[in-house]
């Protein structure tokens, strides 16, 4: 059994943050068997995070073995994740994706994403909401980050 990626102090902090979780969240993880340096670590990291609370669940897929599901969720990278809502058996896909290992600063982003989706509210300013509500065509945003 591999050592934990989250030390006790961090796990406790995350657990504290998770007291604000509201609705259930499902993480859809997509790994790959080859050419994926960070798949195992990312999967372990997410497993550890999800295990901290009953409000979160994890479904593990393989980019190749589950190609149809990957396509359905438009996942083309491994490790890739969809942070979705869950209502009973239903997965609520809001379009929140992470590609690559959420380590360093991006670990905080992962926790924020889980809280965001759990709250089912964007928290955006009224003017931003008003603009987004006028959209009639797809907007695809890719935010490039580095872990340090």
Partner 1 sequence: MVLAHRMAMQSPWVEAEMVEAMEFPELAQRFGVSGVPQTTINYGAGTVVGAVPEDYLVDEIRQALEIRV
Binding site for partner 1 (CB under 8 A): 37-38, 74, 77, 83, 94-102, 105-106, 108-109, 112-113, 116-117, 120-125, 127-129, 131-133, 135-147
Nearer to partner 1, 52 or 116 (CB): 116
Written as six digits, the tokens of 58 are: 């994890």
Please report how close the Cβ of residue 19 comes to partner 1 at its closest, in angstroms: 19
Please report how close the Cβ of residue 8 comes to partner 1 at its closest, in angstroms: 26
Q: Is 3 exposed, middle or buried (0-12, 13-18, 19+ CB in 10 A)?
A: exposed
Return phi, psi of residue 29, to 5°. Answer: -100, 130
Written as six digits, the tokens of 100 are: 């690559």
Please report how close the Cβ of residue 92 comes to partner 1 at its closest, in angstroms: 11
Please report how close the Cβ of residue 1 comes to partner 1 at its closest, in angstroms: 26
Beta partners for residue 25, in sequence order:
56, 85
Quote the CA–CA distance of 23 and 118 in Å, as a whole number.
5
CB atoms within 10 A of CB 77: 15
Nearer to partner 1, 10 or 99 (CB): 99
Nearer to partner 1, 8 or 126 (CB): 126
């Amino acid at each position: 059994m591999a050592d934990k990626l989250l030390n006790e102090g961090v796990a406790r902090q995350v657990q504290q943050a998770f007291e604000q979780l509201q609705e259930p969240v499902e993480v859809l993880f997509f790994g790959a068997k080859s050419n994926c340096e960070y798949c195992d670590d990312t999967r372990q990291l997410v497993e550890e995070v999800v295990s901290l609370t009953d409000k979160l669940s994890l479904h593990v897929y393989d980019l190749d073995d589950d190609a149809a599901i990957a396509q359905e969720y438009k996942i083309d990278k491994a490790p890739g994740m969809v942070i979705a809502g869950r209502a009973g058996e239903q997965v609520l896909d809001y379009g929140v994706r992470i590609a690559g290992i959420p380590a360093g600063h991006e670990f905080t982003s992962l926790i924020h994403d889980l809280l965001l989706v759990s709250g089912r509210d964007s928290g955006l300013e009224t003017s931003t909401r008003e603009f987004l509500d006028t959209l009639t065509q797809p907007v695809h945003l890719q935010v490039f980050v580095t872990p340090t």
